[in-house]
Structure 1
Amino acid sequence: MTGIKRIWGTLDPFFEGGPVLGRTVANVGFLDALLRADPFDEYHFFLPDRRALDPLRQHLERTAPGLLEGERVRLMLREALPGRLADTDYHCFHLSDCITSQPFLSRMRNQLSERIFPVTGPIHSLSYAGYPKAFLQHLWPGATRRDAIVCTSAAGRRAVEGFFRQLRAGFGLAAATHPGPRLERIPLAVDADAYAPAGEREDGPTRILVFGRISHHSKMDLVPLVRALHRLVQDGLDPHAVELVLAGWAEQETHVLDTLTHLAANAGIPMSVVLRPGEARKRELFQKADVFVSIADNPQETFGITLVEAGAFGLPVVASDYDGYRDIVAHGETGLLVPTMGPAETPDVDLTAPLNFDNHYHLSLAQATAVDIPALAEALGRLIRNPELRAAMGAAGRDRVRRLFHWPVVIGQYTALWDALWEEPVEAGPLRDLAHPLAPEYGRIFGHYPARTLDDPVKLTVGRTGEAFYRNRDFPNLYAGLKDAIDPEAVRRLAFFARNPVDSATLIRKVSDVAPHLNVTQIKNHILWALKQDILQTTE
């Protein structure tokens, strides 16, 4: 590939508005880190509409103005994608989520791109009831070994493997004929340089920080944390020796916070709640904390980026021994993992989840997953009573984050993966016309809806609008969404060639000779659009 420009492409903005969730934080962190590292010659974004394009442009004007001004970052609408794939050599495409469009992008690449470049996308939450359909999209013969799902944790990788096993068994798919993409593990990360411990703290109570969604059905039930602290108080801990700080984003209903407030008050434990903190307030909360706690019990959690943030701030972590948390916390070194217990089988939820809202079945699953409260109390007690241990674990945690979960390190893993995927052998020929069974073939499915279809015997001639059009006396209406699909000059040629009646096959051949950038399907679409606009008409 010597001499070939290295171009990175995506269909996603990575930067998006809305609630601040782990996924959105991770995606914008990835984008900013990629552009800072700048391992490619160009970066092409193909976005669905202006509502996605304009906010991304504004973000890049703040974070990567040089790349924008030098036109090394190009922001395009999705309609331009087929043409770009046909005439541009891409090094790779990377999506912000493997769930939505990765297999269909691979199909378009197979058909249009001269080179079979890698297509990758990461996992985020995996536990939604509709996700088996999403993973079924990946199990088709057009997936290649140059395609990869990036799993952010070992637990997440095992879950994806579980989806694939279930789907292959249920639909009778052999791994040899329906291999799906490769599974690679690369974690999420933070910019460790942007976070730093506050230094020496003033004397006072041990401040225990929980940061994230305060939700019993989408993140973690915090009642076990208050119960564990109550145990310590019952065993002699001065309740004013600790302070519990809950920060983040709460559901609109208040009963969860009310429950936690009442339980803490009954135990005599000082507790404060900080809702929707901005970035400056978030830093202040982490820097004033002594211990970070996250006791996830919900399968929506796959990685746990707040634990990495806590490590970057030099905080020891007490976390449930659950999902990706065990990848982040080195037990006994950077924090303490608390045992959890959950069901091996879930026949009731399996039966009802596809019929219910996601918060219903996630709540059921979470309430059947127990964090060991005595062990949680013991872990908290060790750190509350031992400031030297807190300092040692916090320092080790920061070192671990810099080695494993720092964006420059992780971007290096991505660039190495994209380069390595090119080493996988691919035979392009059999992939070119391979349809995806989950992508509707609209012509074949709905071709009987109109009274007739465009075929070779159809005779065509110029319409009244067409006569005026090729003489520049009329201008047909071209909607914004068609500006990349309809070439006005090709339509003008259609009108010119149909001055005398002509069959559609001859007309297609004539246009193809003068507009080689259009394939037969595209020329047929131009003919049908011209009929719709009275530029052409049938003679029968």
Structure 2
Amino acid sequence: MLRSGRQAPMRWGSADTFVSDNPWAFRMGRPIANEGFLRALLEYGSYDEYDIYCTDMNSQAAFQAWLEEHCSDPAQRARVTALPHVAMASRLAQLNYDVFHFGDFTSLLPHMVEARNRLASKPFPITGITHSLDGLLMSTRYQQLVLSDLAPFDAVVCTSACAQQTVRKGLAWARSSLGLAEDFSPVSLERVPLAMDDALLQVPERAEARARFELPDDVVVALCIGRVALRQKADWAPILGKLARMRAGGGLGRVVVVIAGGGDEPDFALLQQLIVAHGLQDSVICLPNFAAELKPYLYAAADFYFSMVDNFQETFGLTLLEAMAAGLPVLCSEFNGYRELVTHGETGLLVPTTWVAELPSLFRSTEGLIQDSLMRLYMAQMVAIDLDEFERSFRELVVNAELRRELGERGRQHAAGFTWRATIDRYEQLWERLRKRMTGSSWKPRSGPPRLKQDPAHAYGHYSSSLLGPEHSLELSELGRALLEQNNLVVRYEDMTVLLSDAVEEQILGALAGGPCSLAQLREICREALQTEAGLVDLQVLWLLKHGALRQR
């Protein structure tokens, strides 16, 4: 049934499942934001149909299992169709999509632009969201975006003004590096923030939460939740060193620091070594890879939240919002998207940071040779957090309960606007604006072959002994004759069943049962009977040759 009396269904598509199969990763950063988006889209979205294209048949099965587990409403599930990527080409030609959206604006989106421009029955907006914007690959990804022939009704969805500025610079650099006009890129840079899991708005009782973690009621708990990874997130050494000196100076005797998050064993081992080296093992608690259901209790058990991120991998700061939603005052570094979420003295406290004005020449010259994660570390090691200001703010939050209450309450009010319902509404308003822009646009896609990848048939055509051409004559083998009666005599891999057609196979085998035929004749037979394009006939013929069902004469 169409929604709101529409004459035609509103169709939403993506070549991104938004779901991670990593048992821990889904609880942190991009995976948790993407899965939260998908859940909210299916719950609050107003589109009639949602087409999710999955990597392969295994990915499709995993997505369908996720859908059964996390989408309890049969009516919501009925709007979702899961298909493998390889099924997209024919559906783009047959169906009218209203928008395609991606949980990342780089890896798949440029190729989706080329697919739309070449295959779609009618154009539609394509959007993708920003997450991490650092790393060497971003340079080539910006170039891919520029070369993919984006339309004025496409958009990069930036989660923060900081991300917006970074993408604008990146696209300008890409155009300049490719010898194009630097100040022009048709793609729209829109701003839609991330949102929180609505369940986090329901904060457990403090006493119950403290009991869960065996925390006395009379201690002040400073909490930090996030990925524990020196190269990817934050360097704890300066902060732990400062906390040790602060403790030695007095006034922190009843303070407990809780560091909870996801990470690999070596990263937690390093963190534990730092804690012991600074003599903080009695006042700093580590909770590695904690159960997801414990997160609300962590916030409820804390008195304030702090995060001294110094890594360029961060662009938003979802845990800051979660902490504010739980009523916690926030102390964080004044860095990237963090500064947009926290207003100093109103919804939290910001600690100034300083970075280098110009990278050492050795990095500019060898950046492509240095491992990406190591380059992240080198860059972050030049980000200096004002440790004196950190101490002043940290101590103030420890001793001033009234300040904690005031900042926490204002933070709670601020975070209330970052719900998934509101975010999905922002997205639908954005997609509607882009569709209207498309309607009034004179934009036409560039003609010619794709610019992001070469033709494999051209690149590797010299590998085989010969190339199958229309003049080649083919005949049935004994296996081929047997297949006319029983088609389970050859292995058909699950991912190949999407491409192989029983009807095309019957036409090929039936024609050859009457005697040898050329490939050109088989193409024509399948075209007349089934309207099958020549390339798919060639695929089926070569697959039958591969399994010995056909022979070349």
Provide, for residues 180-215 of structure 1, a one-character-per-residue CA deviation record: whole Å limited to 9, x for no partner: 633222111103453344567796232211111233
1:16 is matched with which residue? 20
Tell me, yes or no, if the aligned pair for 1:60 and 1:68 is still in contact at 8 Å.
no
Q: Are 2:229 and 2:263, in contact at CA under 8 Å, matched by a contact in 1?
A: yes
Shift in CA distance, 179/452, structure 1 to aligned 2, threshold 3 Å:
farther
The counterpart of 1:46, out of the listed 43, 49, 53, is: 53
Q: Which amino acid aligns with 2:7?
A: G
Structure 2 Cα separation of the partners of residues 342 and 301 of structure 1: 15
Partner of 2:196: 190
Residue from 7, 27, 45 that aligns with 2:11: 7
Q: 1:49 to 1:314 in 2, by over 3 A?
A: same
Q: CA deviation at 1:298?
A: 0.5
Cα distance per residue 1:6-30 (max 9 Å; x no partner): 1222222222232332111111111
Partner of 2:119: 112
Say if 1:232 and 1:477 are closer, same or farther in 2 by CA, change over 3 A.
Answer: closer
Equivalence for 2:411 = 397
The one-letter amino acid of 1:381's match is R
Q: 1:445 to 1:401 in 2, by over 3 A?
A: same
My pick for the range that moved more, 358-367 or 246-255, is 246-255
What pairs up with 1:197-212 in 2 under 5 angstroms?
197=203, 204-212=218-226
| Secondary structure in structure 2 of the residue aligned to 1:424 | helix
Instruction: State the alpha-carbon separation in 2 of the partners of residues 191 and 14 from structure 1.
Output: 15
Matched residue SS, 1:381:
helix
- Deviation at 1:354? 2.4
Q: Structure 2 unaligned segments of length 5 or more: list them.
A: 208-215
Structure 1 residues 47 and 182: CA distance shift in structure 2, 3 A: same
Q: Look up the SS of the partner of 1:138 in the other structure.
A: helix
Determine the C-alpha separation between the residues in 1 that align with 2:538 and 2:254: 77
Distance in 2 of aligned mates of 1:29 and 1:112? 31
Match of 1:71 among 57, 67, 78: 78
State the SS of the aligned residue for 2:13. strand
Deviations 1:388-439 (A, max 9, x none): 1211111111111112x211111111111222221233568644x5433222
The whole-number CA distance in structure 2 between the counterparts of 1:401 and 1:69 is 28
Cα offsets for 1:151-193 (capped at 9, x unmatched):
11111222222222222222213358x8363322211110345
Q: How far is the alpha carbon of 1:455 from its aligned partner?
A: 3.5
Identity of aligned residues (%): 29
Q: Is the alpha carbon distance of 1:333 and 1:377 closer, same or farther for their aligned partners in structure 2, counting shifts above 3 Å?
A: same
Cα distance in structure 1, aligned partners of 2:540 and 2:181: 41
Within the candidate set 240, 243, 252, 2:253 is matched to 240
Counterpart of 1:272 in structure 2 is: 285
Distance in 1 between the 2:545 and 2:60 partners?
Answer: 33
Q: Which residue of 2 aligns with 1:443?
A: 457
Write the distance in 2 (CA, Å) between the matches of 1:148 and 1:282.
Answer: 33
Of 406, 414, 422, the match for 1:409: 422
Q: Note if contact 1:49-1:78 (Cα within 8 Å) is conserved in structure 2.
A: yes
Residue 308 of structure 1: CA displacement?
Answer: 0.8
Q: Helix, strand or coil: the match of 1:221? A: coil
| Shift of residue 370, structure 1, vs aligned partner | 0.3
- 2:363 matched to 1:349? yes
CA distance in 2, matches of 1:191, 1:385: 31
Judging changes above 3 Å, is the alpha-carbon distance between structure 1 residues 200 and 536 closer, same or farther for their aligned structure 2 residues?
closer
Q: Deviations over 1:69-112 (max 9, x none)?
A: 86322222223222222222222222222222111122222222
Q: Tell me, what secondary structure is at the counterpart of 1:423?
A: helix
Matching residue of 1:146: 153
2:271 aligned residue: 256
1:34 to 7, 21, 41: 41
* 1:313-334 deviation per Cα after TM superposition (whole angstroms, max 9, x unaligned): 0111111110110121122110
- In the alignment, the residues of structure 2 paired with residue 199 and residue 526 of structure 1 have an alpha-carbon distance, to the nearest angstrom, of 63
TM-score by length of 1: 0.90
**1:97 is aligned to 2:104:** yes
**Which one is further off, 321-330 or 347-356?**
347-356
Segment drifting more, 30-39 vs 87-96: 87-96
Give, in angstroms, the shift of residue 42 of structure 1.
Answer: 1.9
Corresponding residue for residue 181 of structure 2: 174
Query: Which stretch of the first structure deviates more once superposed, 49-58 or 14-23?
Result: 49-58
**Residue aligned with 2:357, SS:** coil
2:435 maps to 422
- For 2:398 and 2:485, how far apart are their aligned partners in 1? 85
* CA 1:510–1:61: 2 relative to 1, 3 Å: closer
Q: Which residue of 1 aligns with 2:296?
A: 283
Please, which moves more after superposition, 467-476 or 373-382? 467-476
Structure 2 CA distance, aligned partners of 1:75 and 1:116? 22
Q: Which moved more, 1:407-416 or 1:379-388?
A: 379-388
| 1:335 Cα offset (Å) | 0.3
Report the TM-score, using the length of structure 2 for normalisation. 0.88
Match of 1:158 among 150, 154, 165: 165
Match of 2:530? 515
Distance 1:81 1:418 in 2: 21
2:316 maps to 1:303: yes
Do 1:91 and 1:117's aligned partners in 2 also have CA atoms closer than 8 Å?
yes
1:336 Cα deviation from its structure 2 partner: 1.0
- For residues 468-504 of structure 1, what are the alpha-carbon distances to aligned partners after superposition, in whole Å with 9 as ceiling and x for unaligned? 4446688554332221212121122123334345444
Summarize the Cα distance change of 1:430–1:238 in structure 2 as closer, same or farther, 3 Å threshold.
closer
Distance across 2 between alignment mates of 1:209 and 1:286:
8
1:123 aligned onto 2:137:
no
Q: Secondary structure at the match of 1:450?
A: coil
- Separation (CA, whole Å) in 2 of partners of 1:52 and 1:493: 31
Q: SS where residue 319 of structure 1 aligns?
A: strand
Match of 2:389 in 1: 375
SS at match of 1:400: helix
Question: Could you say which residue in structure 2 is the equivalent of 1:458?
Answer: 472
Amino acid at match of 1:189: A
CA–CA distance in structure 1, aligned partners of residues 37 and 122 of structure 2: 26
